[in-house]
Amino acid sequence: MYLLLSYRLKEETIGYGGKRGFYNKIYKSIKNNDSSNSSIWEMNNHIGTHIDCPRHFFIDGLSITDYPVDNWMVSGEKIQLIDAHLTKPPLIGIQDVNKKIINKNVELLLIKTGYCYKRKYVKYWNSNPSLSPTFAKWIRWN
């Protein structure tokens, strides 16, 4: 089982805060008699789907390169995708999911909130969903 977890990167992709997202500069081109086609890509680390590692918020926190690559791999049977029906946005609470459907053996729980449809709006980066403290504790300890 494969799930596409990121937005496709293209120059129209909006970056966090409405900023420029992805820039593709042609570096070499066969049309210009170069030996191959090649590009230089420029983007900030808040484009598409991403993971904020501890260093994003703490000076001595771990960065993405501090984790082994197998840390980011999970087999399909250990992934669960659930829909949240936000009753008090932007907080996701126990009431927003059917807690009986959460598999206790899951290693990666993905919560679909529908905020992907708000990417063009300030609400997307200014008031994005997060787990309520009660729900976070429930997931951790149940």
Residue ranges per structural domain of the chain: 7-72, 74-142
Cα-based distances in Å from 49 to 5, 17, 62, 72: 7, 14, 19, 14
Greatest mean pLDDT among 39-43, 44-48, 82-86 lies in 39-43
| pLDDT for position 18 | 82
How much of the chain exceeds pLDDT 90, in percent? 27
The pTM score is 0.75
- pLDDT, tens only, 72-90: 888 888 888 888 888 777 8
